[in-house]
Amino acid sequence: MESSLHQQLKQHYAGDGATEVTLGDFRIDAIRNDELIEVQCASLSAIRKKCGKLLTRHRLRVIKPVVIRTRIVKCKRLGGTVTSRRLSPKRGSVLDLFEEMIYFNGIFPHPNLVLEIPLLHVEQLRVPRKKKSRWWHKDYRVADVSLESIEGSVELREARDLLQLLELPHQLQQFDTAAIAQAIDRPRWFAQQAAYVLRNTGAIEKVDRRRNGIIYQRAA
């Protein structure tokens, strides 16, 4: 079932345009000023093939939201009285996009594609789970997610736009994943994911291999 968040973002980005439009074999979330709009709250891997086919003939804007703050609302039942409301300690960042871009390999960048990343505050509605089917399941289920606000947005059109998200020091001419991890204050495994994405999109290139890893530089 479509979440409130997906519906709200679809309406927001459609503006005066049409929503839920059939185009050939595809169902498009919205069309605005001859630009197709796809809102993808789930993994980008789910729309990879669809985007690849659409981009051969159409301009496409993929909306991939990143949740930077979540307000958790609990009810004893769906539609019932709210029993608690609190902010989740977990915070998101636009850098979280790199974990998704691994599954968008070969799609971005493309001259017909704009990847837009809205930074969101959302409300997550939780209700008790009637029965846990597996021991590792939580004792609640997420009944819905809705939009509180859009705090900002980032547009990516070229590979170098992805590199700029890392805000690496300009004087860092050559670097390995350890240097990336230090610059963005993330674990090295995350920096390795980022380097994989940047290399496959053409934003950086390999210049050397040393004992402690591959050395990269910004692509010309």
pLDDT of residue 170: 86
Domains in the chain: boundaries: 4-157, 159-220
pLDDT of residue 212: 83
CA-CA distance, 215 to 163, in Å (whole number)?
15
Model confidence at 134, pLDDT cuts 50, 70, 90, reads: low
Per-residue model confidence as pLDDT tens digits over 9-64: 999 999 999 999 999 999 999 999 999 999 999 999 999 999 999 999 999 999 99
Cβ neighbors of 173 (< 8 A, separation 6 or more) are 217, 218
Q: Identify the helix (H) or strand (E) that includes residue 202.
A: none
Model confidence at 127, pLDDT cuts 50, 70, 90, reads: very high
Per-residue model confidence as pLDDT tens digits over 162-182: 999 999 998 889 999 999 999
Q: Which long-range contacts (CB under 8 A, 24 or more apart) does 33-38 make?
A: 34/59, 35/59, 35/60, 35/61, 35/114, 36/60, 36/61, 37/10, 37/13, 37/61, 37/63, 38/62, 38/63
CB 68 within 8 A of CB 38: no
CA-CA distance, 45 to 104, in Å (whole number)?
6
CATH code reported for the domain at 159-220? 1.10.10.10
Ranges of H-type helices in 15-130: 48-54, 97-101
CA-CA distance, 196 to 102, in Å (whole number)?
8
| Sole residue written with tokens 């204050």 | 185
CA-CA distance, 46 to 31, in Å (whole number)?
20
pLDDT of residue 111: 97
